[in-house]
Amino acid sequence: MADWRAPLMSAVCYRDSRAALAFLEAAFGFEVAMLIEDDAGQVVHSEMRFGNAVVMVGNEWSDDHKSPASIGGKNTQTVHIQIETDVGAHCERARAAGFEIIAEPETQFYGDRTYRCRDPEGHIWTVAQTVQPVSREEAEARTGLKITGWV
């Protein structure tokens, strides 16, 4: 395994993975780290980088690996992006690129400001920026929930 590859990667299926690559680059600033094409120029496999993280972007390839656009908009996973820059500006960039903003930026009890968006094929992405460090005790007091494993 190459040094740049993340130990855990998400894989997202699209009807048109080439369009998804361009879209994710424009909307989120992801960079293509690997692109494999066949003799006809069709995308066989791709990986996009964001900092130290990698997301695989691929085509639909079986009845069990479909874009939400092909299965009535259903999602079985979402992808979370943790950023250090202004999440409000990030949200506006995503909106301008064509993401549907399904939850505007809002500060959560755990100190992150988050928003949720849906891409043109129906994948849901959550983007967050830590704006206020919160201890486990503070989070428990704010919510009334018992939290274990807080780092």
CATH number of the domain that 135 lies in?
3.30.720.110
Confidence at residue 106, expressed as pLDDT on a 0 to 100 scale: 97
pLDDT per residue as tens digits for the range 119-150: 999 999 999 999 999 999 999 999 999 999 87
Please give the pLDDT value at position 5. 62
pLDDT tens for 102-117 read 999 999 999 999 999 9
Domain extent for 9: 1-59
Three-state SS for 45-109 is EEEEEECCEEEEEEECCECCECCHHHCCCCCCCCEEEEECCCHHHHHHHHHHHCCEEEEEEEECC
Rounded Cα gap, residues 6 and 9, in angstroms: 6
Q: What is the pLDDT of residue 1?
A: 41
Q: Is residue 40 assigned to a domain?
A: yes
Same domain, 51 and 93: no
Q: What are phi and psi of 103, to 5 degrees?
A: -150, 115
pLDDT band at residue 65, thresholds of 50, 70 and 90? confident
CA 64, CA 13: separation in Å to the nearest integer? 10
Q: Is 27 helix (H, G, I), strand (E, B) or coil?
A: helix
For residues 51-71, give the mean pLDDT: 90
Which candidate, 121, 91, 116, places its Cα nearest to that of 22?
121
Residue 6 scores a pLDDT above 90:
no
Q: Please check the confidence at residue 3 and state whether its pLDDT lies above 60.
A: no
How many C-beta neighbours within 10 Å does residue 141 have? 12
Q: Is residue 82 located within the same domain as residue 55? A: no
